[in-house]
Structure 1
Amino acid sequence: MPRWKSLPSELPEKDRQLIIQLRRLKDHSGLGLAALAAKTGYSRSSWERYLNGKQPVPRKAVEELAKVCGADPTRLLVLHEMAERQPPEPATAGTAAADTSTADTGTEGAAPADTGTAGTAADEPPGTPESGSREPGAHPSGPRRVPLRGALAGVLVAAAVSFAAGLLLAGGDEGGGDDGGTKAVTYGPGRTYDCDDKGRKDGAAYAGHSTTAEALIDINGSGPDVVEAQCQLKRHGFDPGEVDGLYGPSAKSAVRDFQKARKLVSDGIVGPDTWAELRR
């Protein structure tokens, strides 16, 4: 598996999540950048820029990568849609307001400071740039409101990104269990699930919890897809710990051992190649 460069620190979290999932999909496909370029409408250098966070990934490129790798593009496109929605930048807005405040008061405060008048106009200019962070700010209708709106927007975007990332890593509601994703909160310590032998369908083995063959599962993922993976690991003789639907360290260690035994990339992440072997 290639060693990826660290993504730029200034890259927004929603863009970072999208690129991480695209990198994983590419790695599991075994395709290099040149092969990817040959199979899509984008050059090798374009893919290098997209996957290293140097340039925004076009929606069409996301669809083509998923198609080439044999994956369902739906969840990737959810992340891409959120990556295109740029929220207000609270830090920038706050800084701009402070800079404006400084510029406005610097010239007006010079004359009173020279006069030696105490306590009123002479004291106001130095405190004005910080008024956005103090209760008795000089401009209650300006800088103090902008950071609040930006902070609320940031919270909403972070929640949306976390939700989409959770769908990608835990399998979302595509599991084959009767409850789907509606009881995701019940997965984890204190819960155990039976690994029923549901036989085979089209030559693939199923344990009755999920029919997925491509969901990406990584540490702390949860849901019916995780239960299915844990059951299949037990069937092959690899102990994932409790079959509780939470992808913890024990399950990841078992997956690594299973991947080594099947001569797969031993990264502990359940993806299409690992599912293909688990279903045997």
Structure 2
Amino acid sequence: MSRWKALSTELDPRVRQLLTQLRRLKDHSGLSMRQLAAKTGYSEKSWERYLGGRSLPPREAVEALARIGGVDPVRLLALHEVAADTWGGGRHLDASAPTGPPPELVPEPAPVPVPVPTGPVPTGPEFLAGPDRHPHPHPHPEQDAPQVSVAGRSLRVALVAGAVALVLALSSATLLVMRLDDGDREPAAGPPTVSTPPAPASAPAYTCRVERTDGLWYAGISRTRDTELGYGAAGPEVAEAQCLLRRAGISPGGIDGMFGPLTQRAVKAFQTRAGLAVDGTVGPLTWKALRG
């Protein structure tokens, strides 16, 4: 089991959850960084950045690691989408922090004092007859309308913005739950459609052409009968052994010429069935059993 360096506490919790799952898959596969780079097409330094939390892995890298670990990539891709939204908005965003400064409240201006008459208020017809009198006590009602303070408008704007943000957050959470639930359900018909990542340039494709010649089985890739192959080996001889294991009814994983944990497990199963010493390596005796 690899000893990982602790992830930064400034990372968003959703990014930390994705990277923790990817680290577990890498440890479970038993591959080194170099072997992981050869199988996925992404460089060793890129994987160190991805799993170290210095950059967000692309969607294709997450899917490739899920396929190597033998797990359904749907849940990981849902986590990646949420993490990508968080990463795009800022690497160290806190989901519980407000998205902007609070609205600044402008102090309401003090009311202007209005002089109050102290004498008796005229009520007779002479009040209406004077040249400086007006038939209404408020000649300009629009001037006497209450003024709406700037602070009141700012508070209403802040409340509306907060309500909109709350609705958007609830919508995003509901969508995420629906996607995770869909990942746990059985498909109605047919296998799920999974896009295939580009084949890495460092791992050539091999084709098994198994045929029996002079009483021995050959896959058309290598005719060796005594090459020692162990964990971490690579090349056409490994691909030849993988083809012969598959012919014997034991799957070594892909025919990629890489002697990884799946190939080693298949070799041990074949050696057990053939009554050979179970050491997980392909030597002369195992070659003889595979070709016979």
| TM-score, normalising length: structure 2 | 0.39
- Select the structure of larger CA radius of gyration: 2
Greater helix percent: which structure?
Answer: 1
TM-score (normalised: structure 1): 0.41
The structure with higher relative contact order (CA 8 Å, sep 6+) is 2
